[in-house]
Amino acid sequence: MVKKQDPGSDNRRRLVLRNVTGFFLMILVLLVLGVISSRWFFRLDLTAEKRFTLSPKTKSILRDLNKDVYVRVYLKGEMPVGFKRMQTAVKDMLDEFRAYAGRHLTYEFINPAEGKDTKERNKLYKSLIAKGLRPTDVQQRDKEGAISSRIIFPGAIVNYNGMEMAVNFLNNNPSLPAAVNLNHSIEGIEYDLIHSIRSLSADTVYHIAFTEGHGELPEPEVEDAEKALARYFTIDRGVIGGKPGILDKYAAVIIAKPTKPFSKADKYVLDQYLMQGGKILWLLDKVAVDADSLMYASFTFAVPTDLNLSDMLFKYGVRLEGSLIQDMRCAMVPVNTAVVGNAPHYVPAPWPYFPLMAPQKHPLSRNLNLVRGEFVNPLDTVEGNGDITKTVLLRTSRYSRTRGAPVMISLEEIKRPPTEKEFNRPHLITGVLLEGTFESAFHNRMIPAVISGPHPPFLDRSVPTRMIVISDGDVIRNKVRRAGDKWVALPLGQDRLTQQTYGNKDFIVNAVNYLVDENDLMELRGREFRLRLLDREKVAAGRLYWQLFNTLIPVLLIVIAGIVVNMIRRRKYGVSLQKRNKG
């Protein structure tokens, strides 16, 4: 008698064999993928703006690290939603950094207020401020209308080989909504972090120089800018003295509000320094105004001044007008409103001669706060000799005009402000970047008549280089106050009347960094993330609908999926069971 083979047994064996084969195939595929991924590193960024894609320059710097970088981020604890978003963005960026730096980069998020009494917390806050972190006081209103205040340090301390540098993530422009400020801050996270790492890990520390000898601002009046620049460069000060080659060791030269004419010899030294690839930041006043006389006597005179630089700058592609700008978007000055004979009573009043200049959309100036100026001159670009690209960095507002010099300036003008229609020269240029190859200002001139004695060979045309011209020397000038027998520098850009800090210091630091930036890291500040905000009115009106939608729809989808899967199983295995029973 031949025993019939059970077809169900064959089906089970085939099913077991298929499952075992599939399991081992899956293991084999995973092993192959593991070997490939260990030899071939790649990351996928599916965001529209490539938020998580690092620039090639950033990757190169991180891969070349030979010592450990430790980042302490002080964004932790209870914070508004916007700062939570910044915290997530910083963590994501550091994770991307670590993917390329490997074991050379570690980070930690710290809550500076956690587990400390008031005394310890205040001590830590002071130490963080001393290191360069800027705190921000955030006020929140709850549903019952109560307001709570919280101090947040939106920044980090980067440590490399025992050296530290503070990184502030928050760009606070009072003219923009908070959400836009936070978005701009997130856009700059990669630059802020990698620039600090690059500065700390660089083998070469560049030297920059402030010139003297032409009535430039004294050291106390540029002290705050010097301190900010000293984080990245070695700072020197000195007289040119008509000595060719004296500037050659400097990566950039800053000429801060000179008041005396430049000699031909000094101009020649600057010109040949530029021809060799040197960078210059010019901060110049074409019109001289005695501001002290204005404060004490309520009036003063503005007179044109000749620095003997006009021909040189014209050759490079810019020209300063001998007039003063008035702008309806301006800073405040204290004005005595008391009746004669009574005690002085000062109130702040807008002063159109102190325009608030808007940084333009260039990586150097993008997303910065307004820059405060004092007695600013208009600046024009002209057809310079050489292959030069001109980029506007600063402009006045739509409502600006000029007054030709000489002219008398009086605080009485505050009582008789011009009408809006009289501000008929909108968006005047006050800062410009020049890049390219420049033709020498001494082309076709007799050099021995300018420089006596031996000197390096004359260069008629420059290598590719850069310069920045700002038509206001006060952009870099900080206020000073007397403390005992010393002068103490106040923060650059700080308005004592409104307690607002304008973007002067950030602008100066960015300008010098851009001039010296051989790796073009400043281009990272040009990244733009689209801000996608919800319509609060629609959210409030449809709150219940969306709550029910987000709560019930997932449950319904799971139930429907379960029913469909159950129906498929019943149909598949029900037919198999019927065939088996018939067999």
Nearest CA among 138, 252, 135, 240 for reference residue 513: 252
Domain boundary among 475, 501, 526: 526
The answer to the question of residue 359 being in a domain is: yes
Judge whether residue 141 has pLDDT over 90. Answer: no
Give the integer Cα–Cα distance in Å for 176 and 508: 21
In 3-state terms the chain splits into helix, strand, coil percentages (rounded to 5) of 35, 25, 40
The answer to the question of residue 581 being in a domain is: no
Nearest CA among 179, 108, 154, 44 for reference residue 534: 179
Rounded (10°) CA dihedral 229, 233, 238, 240: -110
Q: What global pTM score does this model have?
A: 0.80
Judge whether residue 339 has pLDDT over 80. Answer: no
Kindly state whether residues 372 and 518 are assigned to the same domain.
yes
Judge whether residue 353 has pLDDT over 90. Answer: yes
Give the integer Cα–Cα distance in Å for 62 and 100: 6
Question: Of residues 106 and 11, which shows the higher confidence score?
Answer: 106
Question: Of residues 455 and 75, which shows the higher confidence score?
Answer: 75
Beta carbons within 10 angstroms of residue 207's beta carbon? 14
The answer to the question of residue 566 being in a domain is: no
Structure-block tokens of residue 233: 């460069």
For residue range 175-201, list pLDDT tens digits in order. Answer: 677 778 788 888 888 889 998 998 888
Kindly state whether residues 382 and 339 are assigned to the same domain.
yes
pLDDT of residue 276: 94
Give the integer Cα–Cα distance in Å for 84 and 90: 10
- Region 511-532: mean pLDDT is 76
Kindly state whether residues 192 and 250 are assigned to the same domain.
no
Kindly state whether residues 289 and 396 are assigned to the same domain.
yes
Structure-block tokens of residue 93: 């960026």
Question: Identity (one letter) of the amino acid at 409?
Answer: I
Task: Using DSSP bridges, classify how beta strands 207-212 and 252-256 pair: parallel, antiparallel or unpaired.
Answer: parallel
Q: Tell me the Ramachandran region of residue 412: left when phi exceeds 0, alpha when psi lies from -120 to 50, beta otherwise.
A: alpha
The answer to the question of residue 22 being in a domain is: no
Domain boundary among 481, 505, 526: 526
Kindly state whether residues 271 and 399 are assigned to the same domain.
yes
Question: What is the DSSP code string of 333-396?
Answer: EEEE-SPTTSPP-EEEEEEEEEEEEEEPSSTTTTTPPPEE-SS---EEE---SEEEEEEEEEE-
The answer to the question of residue 45 being in a domain is: no
pLDDT of residue 114: 81
The phi, psi pair for 577, rounded to 5°, reads -70, -40
Kindly state whether residues 298 and 343 are assigned to the same domain.
yes
Entry field: residues in the chain? 583
Kindly state whether residues 458 and 322 are assigned to the same domain.
yes
The answer to the question of residue 261 being in a domain is: yes
For residue range 30-40, list pLDDT tens digits in order. Answer: 888 777 765 55
Kindly state whether residues 369 and 492 are assigned to the same domain.
yes
The phi, psi pair for 187, rounded to 5°, reads -60, -30
pLDDT of residue 137: 82
For residue range 38-88, list pLDDT tens digits in order. Answer: 555 556 655 655 666 788 888 888 998 888 999 999 988 888 888 898 999
Structure-block tokens of residue 481: 């106050």
Q: What's the total number of domains in the chain?
A: 2
Kindly state whether residues 145 and 195 are assigned to the same domain.
yes
The phi, psi pair for 98, rounded to 5°, reads -70, -30
Kindly state whether residues 436 and 402 are assigned to the same domain.
yes
Domain boundary among 482, 504, 526: 526
The answer to the question of residue 555 being in a domain is: no
Kindly state whether residues 380 and 258 are assigned to the same domain.
yes
Beta carbons within 10 angstroms of residue 486's beta carbon? 9
Residue 481 β-bridge partners: 488
Residues 6+ apart with CB under 8 A from 4: none
Kindly state whether residues 382 and 490 are assigned to the same domain.
yes
Judge whether residue 582 has pLDDT over 90. Answer: no
Q: What range defines the domain where residue 281 resides?
A: 212-526
CATH of the domain at 140: 3.40.30
Helix or strand (DSSP H, E) at 211: strand 207-212
pLDDT of residue 495: 87
Question: Identity (one letter) of the amino acid at 199?
Answer: S
Structure-block tokens of residue 58: 């950033």
pLDDT of residue 151: 85
Give the integer Cα–Cα distance in Å for 405 and 57: 48
For residue range 389-433, list pLDDT tens digits in order. Answer: 999 999 999 999 999 989 999 888 888 888 888 999 999 999 999
pLDDT of residue 287: 95
Output the average pLDDT for the chain.
Answer: 85
Judge whether residue 260 has pLDDT over 70. Answer: yes
Beta carbons within 10 angstroms of residue 414's beta carbon? 14
Residues 6+ apart with CB under 8 A from 271: 312, 440, 441, 442
